[in-house]
C-alpha cells in the first residue's frame, strides 16, 4: 500500500469510527468503561507498575477517572499528557492528586492539562515509565492503533526508548465498537502491547 493509500484508508476509518462512537449511549459508554476499569485493576502489568501515565478521557474514550483514583489509592506515581498543539510534542507530567484535575486549565480539545509554563516533574527526566495507557480511535487484535492523526504517542514512545532502560508496557483502552478487523498502518506507527476491551481475553 502506498503512503497516500494508507493515509486515505486511515482518514476514512477515522470518520467511520467517529460516527460509530457518536451513536453509543452514555449508559453503554459507562457500562463498558466500568468493565475495562475492572480489567485494568486486575491486570498483572498494572499491579506491578509504579510509574504510570494515563490520558484524561474525552467523551468518546473509555472513562479513566476511576483508574486514576486507583493509581493514587495504590500509592503509584501518576503522569498525564501535556500536549503542545503547534507540534507533535507531548510530555508526561506528574499529577498531584485526582482532585487536581478539575482545577486544571482546559485545552481547545476541552481536555484538562497543566499550562505549558507551569513547572512539573516530567516522567522521562526522573526515571521513565513502567506503563502507558494509550488512547486511540481504533485498534485491531494485532496491536495496531489508529490515533487521531497528530502522532503524539508514537513520537513519545520513541523518546521513551531513547531515554530509559526498557520499553514501557503499553495498554490501550477501548470500547468494543473501536475494534476493527485491520487498522491501516505506516512505518511511524508504534504497536501497542495489548488492547483491553469488554471481550478481550486476559493474557
Instruction: Please state the residue numbers annotated as binding site for substrate.
Output: 56, 61
For the annotated binding site, the residues are 10-14, 56, 61, 145-153
Please calculate the CA angle 71-60-81 and round it to the nearest 5 degrees.
Answer: 45
Q: Give which of 129, 191, 121 is closest to 160, Cα–Cα.
A: 129
Binding residues for ATP: 10-14, 145-153
Residues 6 or more apart from 119 whose CB is under 8 A from it?
Answer: none
What cell was used for 20? 460509530
CB 114 within 8 A of CB 82: yes
Amino acid at each position: 500500500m502506498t503512503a497516500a493509500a494508507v493515509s486515505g484508508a486511515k482518514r476514512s476509518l477515522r470518520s467511520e469510527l467517529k460516527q460509530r462512537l457518536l451513536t453509543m449511549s452514555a449508559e453503554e459508554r459507562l457500562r463498558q468503561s466500568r468493565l475495562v476499569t475492572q480489567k485494568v485493576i486486575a491486570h498483572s502489568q498494572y499491579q506491578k507498575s509504579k510509574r504510570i501515565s494515563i490520558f484524561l478521557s474525552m467523551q468518546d474514550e473509555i472513562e479513566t477517572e476511576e483508574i486514576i483514583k486507583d493509581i493514587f489509592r495504590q500509592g503509584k506515581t501518576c503522569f498525564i499528557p501535556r500536549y503542545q498543539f503547534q507540534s507533535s510534542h507531548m510530555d508526561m507530567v506528574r499529577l498531584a492528586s485526582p482532585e487536581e484535575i478539575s482545577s486544571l486549565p482546559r485545552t481547545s480539545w476541552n481536555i484538562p492539562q497543566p499550562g505549558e509554563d507551569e513547572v512539573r516533574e516530567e516522567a522521562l527526566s526522573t526515571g521513565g515509565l513502567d506503563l502507558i495507557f494509550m488512547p486511540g480511535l481504533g485498534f485491531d487484535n494485532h496491536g495496531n492503533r489508529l490515533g487521531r492523526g497528530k502522532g503524539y504517542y508514537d513520537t513519545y514512545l520513541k523518546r521513551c526508548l531513547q531515554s530509559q532502560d526498557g520499553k514501557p508496557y503499553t495498554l490501550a483502552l477501548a470500547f468494543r465498537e473501536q475494534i476493527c478487523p485491520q487498522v491501516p498502518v505506516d512505518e511511524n506507527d508504534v504497536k501497542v502491547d495489548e488492547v483491553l476491551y469488554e471481550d478481550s481475553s486476559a493474557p
